[in-house]
Amino acid sequence: MPRPYDELMVEVNAGAEIDAKTLRESFYAVPDHNERLSRLTELELQAYQIIEDEPLKLGSLGTAMLDAYYGSLTGHFVLARFYEHLENDAATAFHRSWIERIRADRLASAITPAPDAISATRHAYLPATTAIEAQVFAMSEGLTPVGSIYQTTDEVPFALLVQGKPETGPIRVLYFDLGGVYQAMRESFGAVAEDPKFNPFSVVGYLAKENDPAAQAAVGAFLASQNRIDDAINWLRAASRTGNLIANTLLARIFFERARETEDAEEREAFLTETLDHYLHAITLGSSDAMYGLGVLYLNGHYGEDDKASGLPLLEQSAALDNDDALLYLGHLNYQGEQVEKNFATARDYFARASALGNPLAQKTYARFLLDRTTSQSADPRIAEWLEALTAERRTDADEAQPTDTEAMLLLGNLAARGLSGPVNRRAAQRWYRAAANAAPLDAAIVNEVAWTLTVSTDLELRRPDYAVRIMTTLMEGNADARERPEYLDTWAATYAATGNFEEALRVQQQAVDIATGEEFDDVRDILSEHLELFRRGETLSEDVP
């Protein structure tokens, strides 16, 4: 049981060293906690609004905050600013020491929920006494808060995401647990809190009506997800008036979707103008996502041919802030020679940088790039580590295994076979191929590529035609759509030929030729016929794969 708060304060005033965690736990247990928290929140809001422009007014506000709760990060932060302005070094140092003690408590007490079953992301949620304290914590990290939104998860029912802009570098995102605020509001609502309909979103709705921009952004985002677009726009506009980056970004995306959906040219122009305005506001606040989003719109000609050239600098600006989507897009442009001259070295650098930031699509794209024989790339041992992380088994809260990334398994096999993730390792390649096919026996794209490689590779030590015919037979017997695709029938026939069963090879290949009669098969019909003649002569296929 926490020690009585008043008892701790006697010791603090007598000069005793009381750690911030003890003080925090004691504060949450005081009988008049809700009243103190309400008063603290009111004072913090007043101080936060003038913290940069009127430091001389911070003294009385900071003192009042500490009277309400001596462990207030905001109280000590504004008093440090106040005494720093007065050039009182001793008082400044005293409050800064408290700031560091409180920060250390928050960092040590962070909650890190289990990884999300799909994305495997982990966010550490720092405890915060109030929403303003969360913003001030960001400021104590040398960040300027530029965006915020309330969130809820099973493990952290009432949380606040805060975006902070450093002097240089990309925007940082911090997550805070506001469980104490939620509990206080439940108690303040009294009988209403007993209603099963009372939940974190009830609090968010209340705060939105009280002009809390993080709550307004949360309500807007929710309404947009429910396709209540006009209502969403109203709430997001309200949040954006305070410079909430998240609201501006959401508005830009909403208006662009409206521009895509309308057939009225004048209306489309108006929506695109709104999109541009909100992206520019977000860019002013330092958003690399907005730089990327607007850059892509420029490059794709949404603002006309004359403005296409504006897209590339925005993508480069975003990439300089380590935006993985921008890095991936620039890699693609340099790889394909679109908008810029084809440059494989530059493309490789962009793909590798995006991969190092943990972007799964970038990691798989980079692997495909390395495997492209026209690029003549050397090995990169990091690619194996990145892709192997994608194949790790993940579990849901119900402890159910999630499907692993079979494409990553296939790519690991190809890279090992070619020696592009380290020395050539055919056993490792075959092991990854089997893992991919066994994990997704009816995935036509995966099984087909595995079977084709193990059947026709010019590397004879890599071939495993007996296994290839088994997995193709399982696929074709269990996947009706695959049986109607000539390219899959072609692979199936090749596996039969490689195992000496030319009768089945001819039967299946004839099916492939018969199906490939439409215009969409003009580019493959001749190849299928060539393979048919090859099997008639009792010959097998051979190709430089992977």
3-state secondary structure 261-302: HCCCHHHHHHHHHHHHHHHHHHHHCCCHHHHHHHHHHHHCCC
* pLDDT for 85 beyond 50: yes
Per-residue confidence (pLDDT) for residue 184, from 0 to 100: 84
List the chain domain ranges. Answer: 5-108, 125-225, 244-374, 379-440, 441-546
For the domain made up of 441-546, give the CATH fold: 1.25.40
Query: 217 with 148: CB under 8 angstroms?
Result: yes
516 touches 524 (CB < 8 A): yes
Q: What is the pLDDT of residues 222-274, one digit of tens each?
A: 999 999 999 999 999 999 999 999 999 999 999 999 999 999 999 999 999 99
pLDDT digits (tens, 9 = 90+) for 8-29: 999 988 888 888 999 999 998 9
- Strongest mean pLDDT among 19-23, 372-376, 394-398: 372-376
The answer, yes or no, to whether the previous bond of 546 is cis (omega within 30 of 0) is yes
Q: Count how many Cα atoms sit within 13 Å of the Cα of residue 307 in the half-sphere of its side chain.
A: 12
* Confidence at 114, pLDDT banded by 50, 70, 90: low
H helix or E strand, kind and range, residue 176: strand 172-177
Of the pLDDT bands very low, low, confident and very high (cuts 50, 70, 90), residue 190 is low
User: Helix %, strand %, coil % for the chain, to 5?
Assistant: 65, 5, 30
pLDDT band at 154 (very low <50, low <70, confident <90, very high): confident
Helix (H, G, I), strand (E, B) or coil at 498: helix
In CATH, the number for domain 244-374 is 1.25.40.10
| Tens digit of each residue's pLDDT (9 = 90 or more) over 306-325 | 999 999 999 999 999 999 99
Q: Residue 38: what residue type? A: S
User: What phi and psi, each to the nearest 5 degrees, are found at residue 127?
Assistant: -70, 135
pLDDT reported for residue 319: 98
Q: Is the pLDDT of residue 395 over 80?
A: no
Whole-prediction pTM value? 0.89
Identical fold for domains 244-374 and 441-546, yes or no, is yes
The answer on pLDDT for 459 being more than 90 is yes
Of 200, 225, 229, which is closest to residue 215 (Cα–Cα)? 200
Report the alpha-carbon distance of residue 104 to residue 48 in Å, rounded.
22
Over 60: is that where the pLDDT of 191 sits? no
Rounded CA-CA distance 158/167 in Å is 29
Per DSSP bridges, beta strands 144-151 and 159-165 are antiparallel
Q: Which of 109, 12, 16 is nearest to 69 (CA)?
A: 12
Compute CA distances 395 → 17, 97, 258, 359, whole Å.
44, 43, 38, 20
Res 196: pLDDT: 65
The pLDDT confidence band at residue 521, using thresholds 50, 70 and 90, is: confident
Q: What is the pLDDT of residue 404?
A: 80
Instruction: Let me know: does 359 contact 408? Beta carbons within 8 Å.
Output: no
In whole angstroms, how large is the CA radius of gyration of the chain? 30
Give the dihedral sign, CA 464/465/468/469.
negative
Average pLDDT over residues 510-526: 88
The answer to whether residue 396 scores a pLDDT higher than 50 is: no
Mean of the pLDDT values across residues 440-468? Answer: 98
